[in-house]
Each structure stands twice: as structure tokens, then as C-alpha cells.
Amino acid sequence: MTMTLCRQVAANHVVRNEQGDLMDNKLRGKKIAILVADGFEQIELTAPREALEAEGASTEIVSPSEAEVQGWNHDEKADAFAVDMPLNRARSDDYDALVLPGGVRNPDKLRQLTRALEFVDGFFATGKPVAAICHASWTLIDAGVVDGRKMTSWPSLKTDLRNAGAEWVDTDVVVDRGLVSSRKPADMPAFTKKMIETFAEGRQRPWLNISMQSRKTVARPVEQPRSH
């Protein structure tokens, strides 16, 4: 998919979101991080970014790649995007919210990077809103932030999420305590609408979030030595 066509598709999603809802810069002054590695599904970055910027937000692509990060259109390479902030220099404190696009390759890479998991956890630990679509929930599982949450995802992640303690449901969009989740690109109108509403609300109460280290301590108690 060419960059021009991709932007046209993304713009169409924004227009559909406008039906009955006049854009009024709900996100003016907010700075949003979009975390991706090579192999992200391109429309899952471009459509949310268009919607966020149409509401007055500024966005930055954060990536473990230093200069450019490669998008995909299903199983074919699409466009490369400039990286605004390398992951090794990114701080969750500098952003108001986080978007996690999907694609199979992208979250599978991010979930193996401690720095990516720490970055994601920083948003949950401080109650900042997060929007994840498609396979992006893989990264959330490894960040330890899905236990006890109601959410959705690409259907093949259903068992993984349930095993991690989430309540998985098959619907176009779910919002649970600042986490917006959707299944696939076809859900984009519902996803971007709820994403904008949730990001405009801002932080959840901090007590709803536990740091990643605390979650690990709770989830993985130290085993006592066995007697032989």
C-alpha cells in the first residue's frame, strides 16, 4: 500500500468517526507515543495517528529502531516511517497516552525487549491511558498489565490473554480502566472513537495501577527450598 493510499484510508476512518461527532480538538496539548517495531500493521498506526492529530494531539513514533521503522500491509512490506524517539531514550513521563498498533512481527519483537516492557508499564503504573489493537496485546501480556482486565484482541490471542488473567470478549472495542482494546483493522472506527474519548479523560486514579516490579513480586512469589 502506498503512503498516499494509506493516508487516504486513514482519513476515511477519521471521517467515519466524525459522523454525529464534530471534531473539537479534545486532545489539544496532549502528546501521544506510538510504540512500534519493524513489522507493525501499517493502517493500525496511520489511522489512529490521523484521528489523534485531527483532535489536536501531537504524536511521536517510538521504536527500538533508530532511524526508520518498517510497516507491513498484512503479509507484504508497506512503507517505512521515520522514528521520532528511539526507545532507548523514550520516557513514559514525557507522554500523556500510548498507542500500540498490532501486526504479528511487531509485538512479538517488543515483548522480548525489557526496555519496551518498562516503557509500557510506565503508563499503567501512573494511570495514563493506553490503546492497543489486534496482536498488540502480546506486549501487554509480557508487561504484566492484563490480569483482571476486560479486553479484546485478534481472536488467536484469546487463550493467551485468559491464561494471563484477562477476561477476553469478542467485540469491536472494549474500555477498561483506561485501556482501550480492539480486534482488527475493521474495528478502527470504534477503536479511534473510544481512544479519543479515553485519552481526553486522561489519567485513571493511581491506585488502580501497580508497578511492573510489584506485579512480578505478587505474581511470582519466591519459592521456598524443598527438603530432600
Could you list the active site residues? 134-135
DSSP codes, 46-108: HHHHHHHHHTT-EEEEEESSSSEEEEEETTEEEEEEE-SEEGGG--GGG-SEEEE---SHHHH
Say which residues have a Cβ less than 8 Å from residue 46's Cβ, sequence separation at least 6. Answer: 6, 7, 9, 10
* Burial zone of 19 (CB within 10 Å; 0-12 exposed, 13-18 middle, 19+ buried): exposed
**Considering only CA atoms, which of 3, 10, 6 is closest in space to residue 192?**
10
